[in-house]
Chain A
Amino acid sequence: MMNRRSITRRAAVAATTVLAIGLTACAPAGEGSADGDVTLTWWHNGTGEPLLGFWEDVASEFEEANPGVTVEVTAYQNEELQRTLIPNQLRTGSGLDLYQQWGAGELAAQVEAGYVKDISEDVAGQVDALGGVVAPWQVDGATYGLPFNFGIEGFWYNTELFAEAGITETPTTLDELYEAIDALKAADIVPIAVGAGDGWPAAHYWYNFALKSCSPEVLQTAQADLTFDDPCFIEAGELLEEFIATEPFQDGFLGTGAQQGAGSSAGILATGGAAMELMGQWNPGVMGGILQEETGDAEATPPEFLGWFNFPAIEGAQGDPTAALGGGDGFSCSAWSPPECSDLLEYITSVEVQTRFGEIGAGVPVTPGSEAGIADPNLQLVFDGLQSASYVQLWLDTAFGATVGGAMNEGIVSLFGGQGEPASIVQNMKDAAATL
């Protein structure tokens, strides 16, 4: 048995190596050559500007400050990077040093397989400085990566359409949100755009209801043990069912994508086709990109009518009313990376680099002291929301990992489509957890 296993494993490694070399044409990195020179291979998902150029600048600055170190930085499309390239490359045990990391469930699986370097000691200072936002990049108390971008979700809304419907204040409770929906419908405006065709944007409604129905302790236990027995999870589905019954979404939302083109939910909001969209901190950037494509104007910016408010509190619910749902992007060092990897990661999360990250408007920087850099007023709103949230729960599909997360999202979308029940979402999650 042992032999057969090692043969199949070797065959697997050989095949993936051939593929990896063929696809990326990169030499094994991270190994110091005879004269002490070091090459760091760094993969991220910033395929578009301004992030692409920004990371290239950061790489060359690090090279200049560290003679003998070469940083080979490459951007790959997000899903391709996350689901295919990184797992394949990690399996070969070489060729990748610093890579994009979304934390929690996925990180835990990589740590368990022995692919990620424990950098707790190397970046102890940064961990202290960053505080709670590092939690998704920690497993069993040890740090396996650092975030550079962390934000929370909320409703992005069209201030002009709100004014047209006579809504003067943003909703702070679920009842007020229902009133706003009624007012918008009365003014013949589609209240909310949702990209249920992609699954996760619809699922985020359930996440928010779960966040407001379940106590932080229940959510943390659920994340650690993948147990979903608390009745608050079914309650979240019941709240969602009531919400869907008010028909707040655009026609055909089951077939709408989230972020590509004018027909996507972000595009519908950006072009004034709906008044709100529940989405993460990246939404203004996505809308700016869609408007650039639609208008052919390379200088097009996110719409000026945008406003932002956190998902409203629910009267009488068990959860923390000021809790927020969010997540971020980080980087991890592979287990075989040279010591310079954590140095680079430390540089990326330095106040100086983070301030510039805020300035280019690509996300919300995490290092205290870099807030001043946040130039985009929309990102400032997200940052303020993050500051005033008492508890931040990581996106549930990231927190529970891809297997449970995928099953959970599928169950939620079924509820959106009028199939299934609140209890079947929880059953889906339990069934998926049982296959792990």
Chain B
Amino acid sequence: MSISTVGAGPAVSAGPAPLAPPSPARRARKRSRGLLLTWGFAAPALVVYATFVLVPVGLAAVYSFFNWNGLGDLDRFIGIDNYARALADPVFLGAMRNNALIVVLSLLIQGPLAIGIALLLNRPIRGRTMIRTLIFVPYVLSEVVAGLAFKLLLPPDGPFDGMLTALGWVGEKPLWLADPDIAFWTLFAVITWKYLGFAIILMLAGLQGVPEELSEAASIDGASWWQIQRHITLPLLGPTIRIWAFLSIIGSLQLFDMVFILTGGGPLNSTETMATYMVEYGNGRSQIGYGSAVAVILFVVSLVVALLYQRFILRRDLAGAITKGG
């Protein structure tokens, strides 16, 4: 004989109260207590989130309609003038172009590079763990430390130029951070160095989810290594690639620390991004209203890109990941 302790079946013998079906009133009480608990636990986090995220975002939106230097009353309403000014400023448009270029270059260069290295590292080779660790180290460093290190390495006749000379480079070296035509590419190279490890680790994790049986079967059928990667591994790695691309795009749009430390947006605004431009005006030039308008533009661009990406590219990957609860 089995005794059921769950469900709404008849109570067996003198079963204790919990075995009986809860009355509607009791269920409601329980639910309200659950709700209270949920909100009770969430409240501190919500307060912090509202204070440090929602309120500042809302305030920035309000400030962006005023000509305000951060002092005194907020009393000079100028409508959308700040937005019009930003979108007409060649320096800001250049900053937007730089952000867009970094997005595209990251996707076109960092992605394939990371996938390629991950595929190589996924094979049994000697010292694999050490190589993986070495590749991941730059990502672990803080942006400030990495930026400062490259700032110290890259001045004219600095340690990096010395290394090039030792390796046999003769003649003039490029001005890595001081030539407006080169600084952007130096910046991109440093960003790639910094974030490639993260992309590779992500891809390697994704590769763990690709069943080996498929490759083995294909191999038995006579498929080459390249054919296996092209037709089996890469398609199955799709969700990982799409998530990495999402993180990369958002990160590229909001790029700040590395640029701020390495070049400060210079020389001649050649490495300016939307975020460094915002800080330069909002903080450096005491134009809080204008800086806020730039912040709102950056926020909207990031939000729109994120939503469109989720709607059209991540939809399939996220299906089932977000449940309705209950």
Contacts and interface: CB of A to CB of B under 8 A. Distances in A.
Contact of B152 (A109, A110, A197, A261): A261
B180 A406 contact: no
Contact of B285 (A5, A91, A255, A406): A406
A413 B266 contact: yes
A91 B155 CA distance: 41
Interface residues of B, number: 41
A294 to B, nearest CB: 12
Contacts of B176: 255
Contacts of B71: 87, 90-91, 109-110, 112-113, 115
Contacts of B69: 109, 403
A141 interface: no
B229 interface: no
A198 interface: yes
A8 interface: yes
A246 interface: no
A255 B62 contact: no
Interface residues of A, number: 44
A9 B267 contact: no
A12 B74 contact: yes
A401 B285 CA distance: 8
A12 B71 CA distance: 11
Interface in A235-277: 250-256, 261, 263
For chain B, what secondary structure do more than half of its interface residues adopt (helix, strand, loop), or is it mixed?
A: loop
Contacts of A18: 51
Contact of A15 (B51, B72, B156): B51
Given A83-B283, A401-B286, A403-B285, A254 B152 contact: no
A403 B175 contact: no
B268 A9 contact: no
A15 B74 contact: no
A414 B55 CA distance: 38
Interface in A33-64: none
B74 A5 contact: yes
Given A90-B71, A250-B156, A402-B285, A12 B59 contact: yes
A254 B285 contact: no
Contacts, number: 113
Nearest to B51: A18
Given A402-B285, A413-B268, A263 B152 contact: yes
A40 B70 CA distance: 24
Interface string A411-424: 00110010100000
A84 B283 contact: yes
Contact of A435 (B67, B152, B263): B67
Contact of A407 (B55, B183, B266, B285): B285
Interface string A396-436: 00000111011100000110010100000000000000011
A101 to B, nearest CB: 13
Contacts of B157: 251
B73 A435 contact: no
Contacts of B151: 263
Contact of A197 (B59, B62, B70, B178): B178
A91 B70 contact: yes
A417 B266 CA distance: 11
A399 B148 CA distance: 32
B56 interface: yes
B128 interface: no
A404 to B, nearest CB: 9
Given A250-B156, A406-B284, A407-B285, A197 B72 contact: no
Nearest to B82: A435
A106 B286 CA distance: 9
Interface in A79-99: 83-84, 87, 90-91
B254 interface: no
A114 interface: yes
Given A252-B156, A435-B287, A5 B266 contact: no
A83 B263 contact: no
Interface string A197-238: 111000000000000000000000000000000000000000
- The 4 lowest CB-CB distance pairs between A and B, nearest first, are A255-B178, A113-B72, A252-B178, A254-B267
Given A252-B178, A406-B281, 9 more contacts: A87-B286, A196-B267, A199-B266, A251-B157, A254-B180, A255-B175, A255-B267, A263-B158, A402-B285
Interface of A: 5, 8-9, 11-12, 15, 18, 83-84, 87, 90-91, 106, 109-110, 112-115, 196-199, 250-256, 261, 263, 401-403, 405-407, 413-414, 417, 419, 435-436
5 contacts: A113-B73, A114-B72, A254-B178, A254-B179, A401-B286
